[in-house]
Amino acid sequence: MAAPPDLDFTNIQGDILEGLPKKYQSFVFFTIADANLFRKGLKVIVPWITTTAQAVADLAIINQHKRQHGESLIKLVGTNISFSHDGLTALNITDDLGDPDFTAGQLKAAPALGDPLTPGSTTDPAWEPAFKATIHGCFNITGESRQTINDRISKLEATLKGAIKTVNRVDGAVRRGAEKGHEHFGFQDGVSQPAVTGFRLPNAGEATTEAGVILLGQPGDAQAKTRPAWAKDSSFLAFRKLRQFVPEFNDFVKKNPIPDPGLTHEQGSEILAARMVGRWPSGAPVERDPAADNLIDANNIDKINEFDYVTGDNPATPQLKCPFTAHLRKMNPRAGFPGLPAVQVRRITRQGIPYGPEVTSHEKQTNTTVQDRGLLFTCYQSTLSLGFVFLQESWANNVDFPNKGDGLDPIIGQGPSRSTTGMDPEKPTATLALPKEPFVKPLGGVYMISPSIAALSGAPFSKPPAPTTAAATPGAAQTPLVAPTSAAA
């Protein structure tokens, strides 16, 4: 058994484990124009960086305010910062972080991730031009209003005047009303986060995830001994701008209902959508609730993740409740193949937010996407090749995972073989042809590292790297920071 983590929640950036509380969020990507000016400005900025301890405290304040004042909002701003490999180089930080995917960058990796390519090219992804430009760093800003975010961005830019140049900004917002907490396909998001040891206790059905799966230098990080000391409590961030084709998705499920004589056409379509995702719109898992949505399960932190794809299943009909290729099951097979130990080292924390407008009446009528909308996807892990990269390439896109010929993840799977299986519970081997164009298309992304507060406060970020390796930051907290939660956004 690995040693307990020495997590210091004042040293870990707040978006990594807890997630920055938000109604709105902006990612400001920049290049470093003057490294010395940047270091001077960073010393001023570090106190503004939201830690995990502060993120948890902010969430508690929000919850207390809701109990006393309902849905009115209080002014809160969150700020995190991350750097690409090019950004580290611009700051003359040349340590080997032990992650080839981070070093190479996401642009180079795009073809292997299955991202659509520009016509006639085998290497150039069909990304937005801004994500093909050099990116050194990113400010991740959250708040209860766009104005609060803009005020923080203005403050950052004034402090770093002459030191950075903004190359791109993307904005997201939590959907409103009944769609609050749901992504654009209409499903509750963020209900299955890893129970990181030392941060929170697991709810029913959850297995613990070693801290080093998410944080560099902690127990469970296979390369902890070879990382530079300053990297401890940092985490690799994978950012993706993912466009969602909502009218096309809705049209597809309407035209391909589960053919059960006991179901109406509409019910058959609803079940197909749920089986493609692995959850109902409320968040209730189809493994627990295969026939219909269940708000009781969805609203119970000890029910929403209480399943493992093995317990209670008939080995002769393993897909009766949930297809092997359901998005949820592809990304986290739990106790199913290849087994819990192999799955738990590939967990990620996800902190994304929707972007873009709601579907218009014209788009609904024509079943054709016109407006740009989707998800600003972010996830954290200690090793990209075990986390995001593996999940996308080896599970979502792999038509032979978990079994030969099972097909793509129908939601995020990328690849020329556009089919999946298991959607009809009575005919699990039947192939369902997916549209030629995926329901989710990557428009760009970047791999970055979110350093610890100690690293940002001194060497190697706020002052030039010392000739010798800096000492590791001592941990402070030995008990979980928060009680068991559903981690729902």
| Residue linked to tokens 């080997």 | 96
| Mean pLDDT, all residues of the chain | 94
- Token pair 């996807």 in the structure block, residue: 377
Q: pLDDT tens digits for 57-94?
A: 999 999 999 999 988 899 999 999 999 999 999 999 99
Answer yes or no: are the C-beta atoms of 275 and 287 closer than 8 Å. Answer: no
Report the alpha-carbon distance of residue 71 to residue 420 in Å, rounded: 42
Q: Is the pLDDT of residue 480 over 70?
A: no
Cα distance between residue 209 and residue 203, in whole Å? 12
Pairwise CA distance, residues 212 & 224, whole Å: 8
pLDDT at 489 over 90: no
Q: Which residues contact 327 (CB under 8 A, 6 or more apart)?
A: 276, 277, 278, 396, 409, 410, 411, 412
124, HSE (Cβ side, Cα atoms, 13 Å): 8
Give the C-alpha distances (Å, rounded to integers) separating 202 from 135, 234, 305.
Answer: 37, 23, 10
Catalytic residue selected from 6, 101, 115, 189: 189
pLDDT for the residue 476: 42
Per-residue pLDDT, averaged over 399-421, amounts to 97
pTM of the entire predicted model: 0.94
pLDDT tens for residues 205-239? 999 999 999 999 999 999 999 999 999 999 999 99
* DSSP string over 216-234: TTSTT-TTTTTS-GGGTT-
Annotation marks residue 189 as catalytic? yes
| Amino acid sitting at position 318 | P
Sequence spans of domains, the chain? 24-241+444-461
405: left (phi over 0), alpha (psi -120 to 50) or beta: left
Angstrom distance (rounded) from CA 218 to CA 224: 7
Query: What pLDDT does 463 receive?
Result: 81
Enter the tokens of residue 473. 């930051």
Rounded Cα distance between 329 and 326, Å, is: 5
